[in-house]
Amino acid sequence: MPPNGSNASQCTPMDPMHPNAPQCAAAKRSRESAVPLPEETPVREVAPSGKRVGMRLVSWNVAGLRAWLRKGGLKWVQDAAPDVLCLQETKCGAESVPPEVRDLQALPHQYWASPEGKPGYSGVGLLCRCEPLRVTYGIDDPEHDPSARVLTAEFPSFFVVCAYVPNAGRGLTRLQPRLRFDAAFLSYLSRLDAIKPVALGGDLNVAHTELDLRHPSANRRSPGFTDEERRGMDAILAAGFLDAFRVMYPALPHAYTFWTYLGGARERNVGWRLDYFLISERLRPALCDCKIRPRVMGSDHCPVELYLAL
């Protein structure tokens, strides 16, 4: 779920999530210059350890699995051929997964979660080329686990966590539950990391720094860019995790993963970086690359890829 603006008294193209955006965008978009999408660069296939890529992971908020299929998202996944695919906002339960996805021969081990009593809301999926040692659902927290926002697959050398972090809501009405989730999620990740390294892929619903959204000054109290949510990301990184994309591209501007459908935001690259791969620090020697794919269509989010020498 994208962030939403909270100040209905203002009308400005600087905040594409603003509640008044439909009325504002047409009048003001011509005054806002477009910026280009980052140039595509070759994947770095060798890690600092000297080893070559051995595992490719993809994370994608599909904004509804059926809609994503209609928009051609599956074709890109088939061409990308990931070893692990993390999907968020699937909006369907396991029993409703379309056969085109269920029958993917390259990703036969599939795990799906949807909220209790809300099969068309939220939801995550984790699809694997090789069968994990174990798959768990949730974060061992009774407040948040019914929302079905986290799946974890254990492999011999690391954990893969697929997460769809809750949104703070229009007017920040759900900020406090969001912050409680952040605290519980960090505790969960730390417990995993004490066992073996972790690769977390998902829509974390926060733009961590000013570099991660087009108009930071207009969004200081917008969901996804509050100081409180950004401190939640700070806490994860301080606990021993790395933002894989920023390790590889620390100063790359205008690298976003979400664009509202309103006002031609994607064409003008007025976006937010909400989707991440975070990795345990001890996976740094295995990190070959992390790529954002803003030209890939299928959702209002784009896929993110992680390349590891494992």
Task: Give the residue numbers of the binding site.
Answer: 61, 89, 203, 205, 300-301
Active site residue 203: yes
Residues in the chain: 310
Shortest CA distance to 259 belongs to which of 34, 80, 66, 57?
34
How many of the other CB atoms lie within 10 Å of CB of 295? 10
Query: What CA dihedral angle connects 119, 272, 34 and 13, to 10 degrees?
Result: 80
* 151 in Cβ contact with 111 (< 8 Å): yes
Residue burial 30-49, b: 16+ Cβ < 10 Å; e: rest? eebeeeebbeeeeeeeebee
Residue pair 124/87 in contact by the 8 Å Cβ criterion: yes
Cα(100)–Cα(66) distance, rounded to whole angstroms? 10
Residue from 144, 182, 301, 307 carrying the catalytic annotation:
301
The question of whether 109 is a catalytic residue gets the answer: no
Query: Which residue ranges are tagged as binding site for Mg(2+)?
Result: 61, 89, 203, 205, 300-301
Measured distance CA(172)–CA(178) in Å, rounded: 10
Residue 298's nearest CA partner among 81, 102, 89 is 89
Q: Is 137 among the residues known to form the active site?
A: no
Q: Are the C-beta atoms of 177 and 165 separated by less than 8 Å? A: no
Structure tokens at 123: 């939801």
Backbone phi and psi for residue 23, each to the nearest 5 degrees, phi listed first: -80, -30
Of the residues 15, 111, 144, 164, only one is catalytic, namely: 164
Helices assigned H by DSSP within 29-98 = 65-70, 73-80
C-alpha 240/C-alpha 65 separation (Å) is: 33
The one catalytic residue in 83, 182, 203, 275 is 203
Q: What residues act catalytically?
A: 164, 203, 301
